[in-house]
């Protein structure tokens, strides 16, 4: 097999599409946001990407049926007031090694480039290491114009954050996109504790995204329901922490898998 295999499930032509990435990461903020967006705008699967850079693993769904771990590309047409075509990237894992990260990101940019992508939005979380009450959305972009535009709607560009830069698929999409494919991009990072999946941070990130994209307001109901569920479970876990350790592991485990 090739190191990366792209299997198109739909023959698609798109008009000047933008690329939105939400892969697993801190608090699963980016993945939750991407999946919510896919649901709300009715995006359709266009390709699956298998790779030796992913873990050698199948997932098993509720029917007992296996699915090879992969990344997935979805598309939607005429989204929002500006009628933009959109490609959304999400998946089960990011590449497992630095080399894998580079190779996968480069492949995804190549695909985006073929479809005419000129702009991308990388969604993720920024782990604060402590509970976050009202998550801000931190940003970094490949050029000053995008920085300025995002500042206007409240995205925070803080010279201390992220201190060590942006690691992983979000960072590389911006870095390689800019240097090798002339694709400009911005990374939107919702503040999160980093301890749990965080649908609240995902919502904040999505609000910024739909504002930047002039997408008609979308419903956040499903995301809010998840946030509530997490809230409930974290409260219980914290109560238990004060009481005893019995059962805690199972609950924490559960928490991580919501979404």
Binding of residue 118 to a copy of itself (CB under 8 A) = no
DSSP code, position 158: B
Query: Among 23-31, 36-44, 166-174, 229-237, which window interacts with a copy of itself (CB under 8 A)?
Result: 166-174
- On the 0-12 / 13-18 / 19+ scale of CB atoms within 10 A, 181 is middle
Nearest distance from C-beta of residue 224 to a copy of itself, angstroms = 26
Distance, CA of 109 to CA of 90 (rounded, Å)? 14
Distance, CA of 46 to CA of 163 (rounded, Å)? 36
* Nearer to a copy of itself (CB atom), residue 20 or residue 188: 188
For residue 25 the two structure tokens come to 């990461």
Binding of residue 30 to a copy of itself (CB under 8 A) = no
Query: What spatial distance separates the first Cα and last Cα of the chain, rounded to whole Å?
Result: 31
Query: If binding means CB under 8 A, how many residues of this protein chain bind a copy of itself?
Result: 57
Q: How far is CA 92 from the centre of its chain?
A: 11
Residues in contact with a copy of itself, shown as a per-residue x/- string from 41 to 80 under the rule CB under 8 A: -------x-xxxxxxxxxxx-xxxxxxxx-----------
Question: Which residues lie near a copy of itself (CB under 8 A)?
Answer: 1, 5, 7, 48, 50-60, 62-69, 95-96, 98-99, 101-103, 105-106, 139-144, 147, 157, 159, 162, 164-169, 171-172, 174-176, 178-180, 187
């Amino acid at each position: 097999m090739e190191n990366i295999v792209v299997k198109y499930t739909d023959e698609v032509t798109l008009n000047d599409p933008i690329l939105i990435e939400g892969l697993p990461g801190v608090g699963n903020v980016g993945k939750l946001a991407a999946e919510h967006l896919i649901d709300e705008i009715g995006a359709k699967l266009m390709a699956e990407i298998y790779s030796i850079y992913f873990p050698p693993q199948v997932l098993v769904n509720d029917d007992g049926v296996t699915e090879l771990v992969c990344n997935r590309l979805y598309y939607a047409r005429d989204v929002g007031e500006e009628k933009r075509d959109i490609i959304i990237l999400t998946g089960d894992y990011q590449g497992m090694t630095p080399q894998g990260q580079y190779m996968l990101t480069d492949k995804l940019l190549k695909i985006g480039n073929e479809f005419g992508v000129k702009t991308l939005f990388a969604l993720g979380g920024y782990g604060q290491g402590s509970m976050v009450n009202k998550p801000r959305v931190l940003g970094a972009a490949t050029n000053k114009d995008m920085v300025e535009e995002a500042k206007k709607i409240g995205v925070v560009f803080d010279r201390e954050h992220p201190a060590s830069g942006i690691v992983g698929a979000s960072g590389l999409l911006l870095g390689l996109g800019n240097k090798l494919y002339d694709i400009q991009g911005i990374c939107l990072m919702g503040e999160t504790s980093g301890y749990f999946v965080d649908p609240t941070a995902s919502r904040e990130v999505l609000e910024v995204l739909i504002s930047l994209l002039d997408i008609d307001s979308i419903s956040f109901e499903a995301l809010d329901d998840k946030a509530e569920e997490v809230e409930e479970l974290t409260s219980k876990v914290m109560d238990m922490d004060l009481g005893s350790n019995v059962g805690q592991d199972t609950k924490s485990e559960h928490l991580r898998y919501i979404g």
